[in-house]
Amino acid sequence: MAKILVTPRSLTKGGDPTLDLLRKAGYEVVFCTPGKSPDEAELARLLPGCVGWLAGVEKITDAVLAKAPALLAISRNGTGVDSIDLEACKRRGIPVLRAEGANARGVAELTLGLALALLRSIPFSDARMKAGGWERRQGAELEEKTLGVIGTGKIGKLVARFGLAVGMNVVGADRYPDAALSKTPGFRYAPVAELLAESDIVTLHCPHEPGAKPLVDAAALVSMKKGAYLVNTARSGLVDADAVLQSLADGRLAGYAADAYDTEPPAAHPLFAHERVITTPHVGAYTAESVARATRAAVDNLLAALGKGA
């Protein structure tokens, strides 16, 4: 029986009823270690005999693909593919499929939540109360603030609309501006430099090419409005962590929130321990609704690629 490997952490702990569609199509479903991203050694053990791969965020290198001579398709339960050697997949004739937009709402809602938590110092207040203290920080409201959204794809577009809904002015930056969004009252497109200079909150929703320099580096941080906040639920490579730490120390950046890291769990860095930094363990797409949408899209894409779709 041909096999399909399932590696997303959201699916390996207890499976998902949607995976039964793979079994009904005649495939054996195999899992990596529950709740953990597999390393190269585990993938080398599991991939032989697999014709399909429902993949998570683990690294998929040419060396890994060499262990899967029968592999016909890789289907991501999300949209990011920067952990996959796309050139190696192309050379081997293996299509890489994406669950476009399936997790957009989950990530967008987390982005809004992180922005609110930064402006109202919610983690700080909670920690002080639990320690028996009573220490307050004055917060700020979202209304009439400027929200800068870098990347206005499905996630960024939702974040922009959330900002507009609470009375913010929204500035977007994108290589390919969305025509409908650009006509929305309260929203406008601008160059990244202008967005950084004007925004009270900057949120990142764009890809990052491996090896490219960070979009938000020391120079970008210096150009930002003093007292601004930065939220990164996209890719860790977009941000220079050392420069963010220095900007917090200088008092230019008021706070930073991250849900994206180079490795998971991330290596220790003093930035993550800073009291004006909020970190979450890559939970943007980890909602019941997003997981269900992404799993169904990934399964449907995989079955279609294998010639077993409806």
Each residue's pLDDT tens digit, 170-229: 999 999 999 999 999 999 999 999 999 999 999 999 999 878 999 999 999 999 999 999
Q: What is the pLDDT of residues 16-63, one digit of tens each?
A: 899 999 999 999 999 999 989 999 999 999 999 999 999 999 999 999
Evaluate if residue 254 carries a pLDDT over 70. Answer: yes
User: Shortest CA distance to 31 belongs to which of 40, 21, 41, 42?
Assistant: 42
Helix (H) or strand (E) holding 201: strand 201-204
**pLDDT tier for residue 264 given thresholds of 50, 70 and 90:** confident
> Which whole number is the average pLDDT over 67-96?
95
Q: Which residue has the tokens 């479903």?
A: 29
Q: Which amino acid is at 162?
A: F
For residue 309, the model assigns a pLDDT of: 63
Evaluate if residue 82 carries a pLDDT over 90. Answer: no
Start-end of H helices in 137-199: 154-165, 179-182, 192-198
**Rounded CA separation 85/43 (Å):** 15
DSSP string, 44-103: HHH-TTEEEEEE-SS-B-HHHHTT-TT--EEEESSS--TTB-HHHHHHHT--EE--TTTT
Rounded to 5°, angle at Cα 56 from 107 and 229:
30
Q: Which residue has the tokens 């960024």?
A: 156
Catalytic residues: 235, 264, 282
What letter does residue 268 receive in the DSSP assignment? P
What the block records as the tokens of 220 is 């970008």
**Rounded CA separation 114/139 (Å):** 14
**Rounded CA separation 109/229 (Å):** 17
Helix (H) or strand (E) holding 277: strand 277-279
**pLDDT tier for residue 73 given thresholds of 50, 70 and 90:** very high
List all residues 6 or more positions away from 243 whose beta carbon is below 8 Å from its beta carbon: 214, 216, 217, 218, 221
pTM over 0.75: yes
Helix (H) or strand (E) holding 148: strand 146-150
Are 38 and 6 a contacting pair, CB within 8 Å? no
What the block records as the tokens of 282 is 């890559």
Residue 190 burial (C-beta neighbours within 10 Å; 0-12, 13-18, 19+) = middle
What letter does residue 5 receive in the DSSP assignment? E
For the chain, domains (ranges, CATH) are 3-102+288-305 (3.40.50.720), 104-279 (3.40.50.720)
Helix (H, G, I), strand (E, B) or coil at 153: coil
**Rounded CA separation 64/42 (Å):** 10
For residue 263, the model assigns a pLDDT of: 87
| pLDDT over 70, % of the chain | 99
Are 82 and 55 a contacting pair, CB within 8 Å? no
How many alpha carbons fall within 13 Å on the CB side of residue 194? Answer: 9
State how far the alpha carbon of 169 is from the alpha carbons of 117, 188, 307, in Å: 19, 9, 47
For residue 108, the model assigns a pLDDT of: 98
